[in-house]
């Protein structure tokens, strides 16, 4: 076993191969358990022609637990865990703990921002932080050491928060006031001199005059300051994906308008009983999710995607719902919408919206999706052309509901109307299908009871 490379970290599964049997022996090499999946290749040692010890070279984690390395008695090096599928690096966003702080098991130490979300890095065991191995703003790779813990240290008396409380007490003690210095006598102001020719009169604003067409005009107290800040990883990724969508898809947008009156009456009539029964408020989004799901099942091309020279048709509906956060737009996914009721949609939407606002969405919760709904109406948008969320083929945009005159039964009446838009990839979706999708959605929203018959 001494022949194993010192740079190798992991518990390897080693096969002791005999002529009549083979067995797997776990060997600890300062890391988390790993499994071997490739055929046996390299003999390390052998006692005879029929008894050889092999090590299989392909390594995979046995468990999703955080890998960690013991560097001394009671010491623990905590590396950056897997941040998600295809995510190999991130930027250190913040540390919520400092060197010398005592942390409990599973307590947050810091966060790392990736292209898709912020990941919390937690302490795998209780102990005292002895070192923060990276700094805020550093670009780090999966597997880099994030911090070190002294797991042999005991918790401070009164718990982990006693140190913070003591610090607060110290800052609360008022410091003795210094003796007041005698005030200096006010200096006499010089006599005002005669204003020069072209000088601005006193009073707050000054104007610099000059002859010629390019005269400079400056207002006293005005500011022309510019700030440059680095783009966050999420914002850079959003910009990259949106531009890729424009370059790849043949995007076209079609519009329609929906009379929201019947849906608003339905919500007003049943919102209290709905909330009492299901513990969640009845909103408009659940109706649009349900209507879009029915339309997508009737028009499978809109729920499909181009993959090379093939078209992939999905027999399920996973709808991404765009949510605005302080860090940027995120699109958590409602999975298997074809099996969801109004209450299921509202429960899942509330849960995902809270996670999005708190920055706690996981990569898995934003991965996938076959169709996207974006509701710009919550910000007062009257009409817009949403951009496709790749690798999807279409996105529906909801907008603000406003009262306007419309014709009903040959009479002009005032109704609450909403514009809706569908941007689609014209390489795959024809105009007939796009228009039919919006008409189907409109008819279901204007007659909510019809959704119960689907």
Crossing angle of helices 261-278 and 431-446, in 10° steps, is 70
3-state class (DSSP) for residue 348: helix
Which one is catalytic: 101, 144, 298, 426? 426
* Catalytic (active site) residue 358: no
- Backbone phi and psi for residue 248, each to the nearest 5 degrees, phi listed first: -95, -45
Q: Among 69, 67, 66, 33, which Cα is nearest to 149's?
A: 69
Element holding 295 (H helix, E strand): helix 285-298
* Catalytic (active site) residue 410: no
Element holding 79 (H helix, E strand): strand 75-79
CB 88 within 8 A of CB 337: no
How far apart, in whole angstroms, are the C-alpha atoms of residue 254 and residue 165? 60
How far apart, in whole angstroms, are the C-alpha atoms of residue 283 and residue 349? 10
Residue by residue, DSSP assigns 116-148 as S-EEEEE-SS-EEEEEE-S-TT-EEETTSEEEE
- Backbone phi and psi for residue 39, each to the nearest 5 degrees, phi listed first: -65, 150
CB 312 within 8 A of CB 305: yes
How far apart, in whole angstroms, are the C-alpha atoms of residue 62 and residue 11? 10
Compute the residue count for the chain. Answer: 454
CB 400 within 8 A of CB 421: no
Which one is catalytic: 138, 161, 244, 430? 430
CB 318 within 8 A of CB 368: yes
The 8-class DSSP code of residue 53 comes to E
Q: Among 434, 432, 439, which Cα is nearest to 424's?
A: 434
Q: Which residues contact 347 (CB under 8 A, 6 or more apart)?
A: 278, 280
Q: Which residues contact 366 (CB under 8 A, 6 or more apart)?
A: 116, 117, 320, 330, 331, 332, 333
Q: Where would I find the H helices in 228-260? A: 233-248
Burial 208-246 (b: 16+ CB within 10 A, else e): eeeeeeeeeeeeeeeeeeeeeeeebbbeeebeeeeeebe
Q: Show which residues are catalytic.
A: 426, 430
């Amino acid at each position: 076993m001494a022949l194993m490379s010192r740079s190798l970290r992991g518990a390897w599964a080693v096969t002791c191969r005999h002529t009549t049997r083979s067995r797997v022996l776990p060997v600890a090499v300062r890391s988390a358990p790993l499994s071997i999946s490739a055929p046996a290749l390299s003999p390390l040692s052998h006692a005879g022609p029929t008894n050889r010890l092999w090590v299989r070279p392909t390594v995979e984690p046995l468990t999703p637990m955080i890998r960690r390395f013991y560097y001394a008695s009671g010491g623990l090096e905590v590396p950056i865990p897997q941040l998600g599928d295809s995510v190999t690096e991130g930027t250190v966003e913040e540390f919520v703990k400092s060197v010398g702080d005592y942390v409990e098991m599973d307590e947050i130490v810091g966060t790392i921002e990736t292209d898709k979300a912020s990941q919390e890095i937690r302490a795998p065991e209780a102990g005292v932080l002895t070192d923060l191995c990276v700094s805020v703003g550093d670009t780090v790779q999966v597997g880099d050491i994030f911090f070190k813990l002294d797991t042999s240290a005991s918790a401070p008396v009164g718990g982990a928060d006693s140190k913070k409380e003591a610090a607060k007490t110290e800052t609360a003690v008022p410091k003795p006031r210094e003796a007041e210095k005698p005030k200096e006598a006010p200096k006499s102001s010089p006599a005002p001199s005669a204003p020069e020719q072209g000088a601005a009169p006193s009073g707050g604003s000054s104007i610099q005059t000059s002859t010629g067409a390019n005269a400079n005009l400056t207002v006293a107290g005005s500011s022309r300051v510019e700030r440059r800040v680095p783009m966050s990883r999420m914002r850079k990724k959003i910009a990259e994906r949106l531009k890729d969508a424009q370059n790849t898809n043949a995007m076209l947008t079609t519009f329609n308008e929906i009379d929201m009156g019947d849906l608003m009456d339905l919500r007003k009539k049943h919102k209290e009983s709905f909330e009492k029964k299901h513990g969640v408020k009845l909103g408009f989004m659940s109706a649009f999710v349900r209507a879009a799901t029915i339309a997508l099942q009737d028009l499978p091309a809109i729920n499909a995607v181009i993959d090379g020279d093939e078209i992939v048709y999905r027999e399920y509906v996973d709808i991404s719902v765009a949510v605005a956060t302080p860090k940027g737009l995120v699109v958590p996914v409602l999975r298997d919408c074809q099996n969801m009721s109004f209450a299921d949609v509202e429960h899942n939407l509330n849960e995902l919206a809270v996670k999005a606002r708190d920055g706690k969405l996981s990569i898995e919760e934003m991965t996938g999706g076959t169709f996207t709904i974006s509701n710009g109406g919550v910000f007062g948008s009257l009409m817009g052309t949403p951009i496709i969320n790749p690798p999807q083929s279409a996105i529906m945009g909801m907008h603000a509901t406003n009262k306007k005159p419309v014709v009903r039964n040959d009479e002009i009446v005032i109704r609450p109307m909403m514009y809706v838009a569908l941007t689609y990839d014209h390489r795959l979706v024809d105009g007939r299908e796009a228009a039919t999708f919006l008409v189907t959605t409109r008819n279901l929203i204007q007659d909510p009871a019809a959704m119960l018959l689907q």
